[in-house]
Amino acid sequence: MKTSTSELFKEALDLDDSDRATLAGLLIESLEDEPDPELERIWKAEVERRIKELDSGDVKAVPWEDVKDKLLQRRHG
């Protein structure tokens, strides 16, 4: 018997946060086409550049809560 989407969702909610995030990522990846090697190379270089900036102290990370608050403020005027 096939499991319904709502049953799968209820089961997924019982997973811990890390496992739910992993499952969400895997499901999203399953919808994507094969990655473009050139685009992958560009993104890898960008990630490496940003990591170096963080490690060197040239830029500072912004906590998610601060970003979320600013976005909500923009949205609500």
How confident is the model over 4-23, as pLDDT tens digits? 999 999 999 999 999 999 99
53 touches 59 (CB < 8 A) = yes
| Mean of pLDDT values over 25-54 | 94
Please tell me whether residues 3 and 20 are part of one structural domain: yes
* Cα distances (Å, whole numbers) of residue 65 to 34, 40, 41, 62: 33, 29, 31, 8
Please tell me whether residues 27 and 8 are part of one structural domain: yes
Confidence of residue 2 (pLDDT cuts 50, 70, 90): confident
| Mean of pLDDT values over 58-74 | 95
Please tell me whether residues 75 and 63 are part of one structural domain: yes
Please tell me whether residues 41 and 77 are part of one structural domain: yes
* 1 has pLDDT over 80: no
